[in-house]
Amino acid sequence: MSASSDRKFRPETRLVHAGGLRSQFGETSEALFLTQGFVYDSAESCEARFKGEEPGYLYSRFSNPTVAMFEERMAAFEGAESARATASGMAAVTASVMGQVRAGDHIVAAKALFGSCRYVVEDLMPRFGVACTLVDGKDLDQWRNAVRPNTKTFFLESPTNPTLEVVDVQEVAKIAHAAGATLVVDNVFATPLWQSPLELGADCVVYSATKHIDGQGRCLGGVILASEDFIQKHIHMLLRQTGPAMSPFNAWVLLKGLETLPVRVQRQTDNAAKIADALASHSKIKRLIYPGRADHPQAAIIRKQMRGGSNLIAFEVAGGKAGAFRFLNALKLIRITNNLGDAKSLVTHPATTTHQRLTPEQRAELGINDGLVRLSTGLEHPDDLTEDLMTALAAA
């Protein structure tokens, strides 16, 4: 089955079947090809494969059958022509940006980014002569005004980590294209279930597959999705020669994760919606942001570009850092961590973890104050989660 032949099926069906490469043994579940390399029947065949004149695999840093199944299944679901898997989400983000630029170029990125993504555009790229302008992603004029003749790409995430701000992907894509630049969207918080940036005009989508795609806290992974032309021009050689390859074992786990992604993310989102409603009017919560609620500041854009909320909720606990820490420490079922998208509900204090590298002023600008908590809703019964949250708030 190829990704293109699977496109006639609905998304859930593609996530179960697309990209499957069945071996001569006729296995039901996809095979794990845990091999570094491949052998050839003759020196001539080896030469032909290296010249690209004969199809087949060469070396697992370049490609591997299990990794290829994961890539094809992701591409079929996302509606992308092509996909490349990477060892982590950050490898995908770095390659998607770095592959497009040369010294002397310029990037425009939204300020509200996951800490490591912000490091890549703000600190790493300038070390190689690539300038970066950070903008308020919600303000379209700031995107327009940041453009320079040498601007090559725009980078954003929506909803953002951790304050769940939403950027108008369609409008930002138009500004990027008018400037002759591309748009890369980190779609981790939306998940492929609730938002399709390529359909909204983005040129490239990246995921940390570590999050909802695995969804059960087992392994790291990333994926870059775009047109065949974009992948060939910007990504293919960079990944092949620099080596941030996904392990076949991780690809196998993630491939199986894709089969259950819609069921899990739907249930997590339903749980998050119930919890957000239960918490919104609590006297110890000063502010609650959930993309599935009508009171989200960008609710109109959400209706336009997302098919569902998210499993993530951000809220500010009264009493600043001390209040937030009392609340976190009083939780019994929901565990403190910096990860998200898991079957287990997880809670994070962004100011002291994922965004601790930013200055207090930079955090304040993004609305990441000391009372802010990010909840990643899991698959537990929503009443157990709500009871845990209410008990901890009473103790905060």
Ligand X SMILES: Cc1ncc(COP(=O)(O)O)c(C=O)c1O
Question: What is the contact surface with ligand X in residues (CB under 6 A)?
Answer: 88-90, 93, 114, 116-117, 157, 161, 186, 188-189, 208, 210, 220, 222
Which DSSP state fits 59?
B
Which residue's CB is nearer to ligand X, number 113 or number 147? 113
Residues with Cβ within 8 Å of 174's Cβ and at least 6 positions away in sequence, in order, are 201
Rounded to an integer, what distance in angstroms lies between the CA atom of residue 229 and that of residue 338?
35
Reference 138, options 287, 362, 297, 373; nearest CA is 297
CA 96 to chain centre: 12
Please state whether the peptide bond connecting residue 162 to the residue before it is cis, i.e. omega within 30 degrees of 0: yes
CB nearer to ligand X: give 116 or 362.
116
Helix (H) or strand (E) holding 303: helix 299-305
Q: Report the residue number, 93 or 285, with the smaller CB distance to ligand X.
A: 93
For the bound state, the minimum distance from the C-beta of residue 221 to ligand X, rounded and expressed in Å, comes to 7
Indicate the residue among 308 and 382 with the shorter CB distance to ligand X: 308
Write the CB contacts of 295 (distance below 8 Å, at least 6 apart in sequence): 280
- Of residues 353 and 386, the one with the C-beta less far from ligand X: 353
Shorter beta-carbon distance to ligand X: residue 66 or 191: 191
CB of 211 to ligand X, least distance (A): 7
Q: Which residue is nearest to ligand X (CB)?
A: 89
- Reduced to 3 states (helix: H, G, I; strand: E, B; else coil), residue 57 is coil
Round to whole Å and give the CA distance between 327 and 330: 5
To ligand X, the closest distance from the beta carbon of 158 in angstroms equals 10
Task: State in angstroms the smallest separation of the CB of 338 from ligand X.
Answer: 7
What are the residues facing 237 on neighbouring strands? Answer: none
End-to-end CA distance of the chain, in Å? Answer: 54
